[in-house]
Amino acid sequence: MGAPARAHPKLTLQFITTMASEYATSGEYIKHHLQNLTYGKLPAGYERTDHHGNVVEVLPAPTWTVAHNSQEAKDMGFMAFHVDSLGVSLVLGAIFTFFFWLAARRATAGVPAGLQNFVEWVIEFIDDSVRGSFSHVNPLVAPLALTVFMWVFLMNLMDLLPVDWLPWVATLAGVPYLKIVPSTDPNVTFALALSVFFLVLYYSVKMKGPGGFFAELAFQPFPKFLFPVNLLLEGVGLIAKPISLALRLFGNMYAGEMIFILIALMFGGSWVLGLFGGVLQWAWAVFHILIITLQAFIFMTLTIVYLDMAHSEHH
């Protein structure tokens, strides 16, 4: 895929003709779409370069700024923010909150319709899932499950937007990068998973006490005199929960986004490739609807199961 991506406007469904023409190779196009809009701190004396490698600016002092390329984002280190992931996540969370609040405010006792019908269906679905997987009493679990499912679903849903639409608009506004699918960012998926993990730890200690929680880790599944082995095995299993939760969501959504980007490159080839790319794009989008919904459901279900395990006594 090293050949330049050429433009064919009549076949373009994703502004590929505009975006691809700005890059010499397909590889550069892919790297651009996988780069987050990063805000961080660069040290004094840092040499900023253009895409040809020429120095265009030397920072006289430590500076908080937006990274102009992937190398600058890397040099910003750990204390940097993915502005696009954070911004899109917050906007989607606000949209979810607003529409559910609006449905609750306008709820009537009659036969529901429209937004109220959809919200009631979602809440009933979440309630059934909680009843089936959570065997204890905790008023936090159902609202948490609802929030997790809808938020992750909305973040995943952004993957169905054509890969060039919003990034193309962003370039017109002078924004160098824009990733619009937060769940393709491991920082977002790990933040969600770690939030669930901290709740699991909190309720494990609250329900069983510090001693009971430690005993659960140290004295199972082997006899008590093998507690170092038990502690190692159970500790690894405990830590694996948030890691698997985060990587499962990230891996599936990242792979889906990559496929959309590769299909988009086909619009920069001949009209035959463009036509074939349109068919592939439609087929993958239809199949991807199942993936984005399933990943949200799995994340929610595992959250409920992990919290149920935190509330349960093991003997």
Cα–Cα distance for residue pair 314/204, rounded to 1 Å = 11
The reply to whether 217 falls in a domain is yes
Cβ-proximal residues to 50 (8 Å cutoff; 6+ apart), any chain:
56
Q: What share of the chain is helix, strand, coil (3-state, %, to 5)?
A: 70, 5, 25
pLDDT greater than 80 at residue 291: yes
State whether 15 and 87 are in the same domain: yes
State whether 62 and 151 are in the same domain: no
Q: Give me the catalytic one of 21, 117, 244, 270.
A: 244
Question: Please, where are the H alpha helices in 55-133?
Answer: 70-75, 83-105, 114-133
The pLDDT score that the predictor gives to residue 159 is 92
Average confidence score pLDDT of the chain:
87
State whether 259 and 283 are in the same domain: yes
Identify the residue with better confidence: 9 or 21: 21
66-90 mean pLDDT: 93
pLDDT greater than 50 at residue 293: yes
The pLDDT score that the predictor gives to residue 196 is 96
The reply to whether 3 falls in a domain is no
**pLDDT cut 90: percent of the chain above it:** 58
Question: 252 catalytic, yes or no?
Answer: yes
The pLDDT score that the predictor gives to residue 24 is 53
Cα–Cα distance for residue pair 29/261, rounded to 1 Å = 9
166-185 mean pLDDT: 91
Cα distances from 173 to residues 35, 78, 166, in angstroms, run 17, 27, 11
In terms of Cβ atoms closer than 10 Å to its own Cβ (0-12, 13-18, 19+), residue 179 is buried
Per-residue pLDDT reduced to its tens digit, 87-118: 999 999 999 999 999 998 888 877 777 888 99
Count structural domains, the chain: 2
Q: Give me the catalytic one of 85, 89, 156, 252.
A: 252
Cα–Cα distance for residue pair 140/194, rounded to 1 Å = 17
Question: 187 catalytic, yes or no?
Answer: no
Per-residue pLDDT reduced to its tens digit, 116-157: 899 999 999 999 999 999 999 999 999 999 999 999 999 999
Decide if 142 contacts 122 (C-beta within 8 A).
no
What is the β-pairing status of strands 63-66 and 38-42? antiparallel
Per-residue pLDDT reduced to its tens digit, 192-227: 999 999 999 999 999 999 988 998 888 888 888 888
Decide if 40 contacts 77 (C-beta within 8 A).
yes
The pLDDT score that the predictor gives to residue 314 is 64
The reply to whether 193 falls in a domain is yes
Q: Domain range for residue 61?
A: 41-79
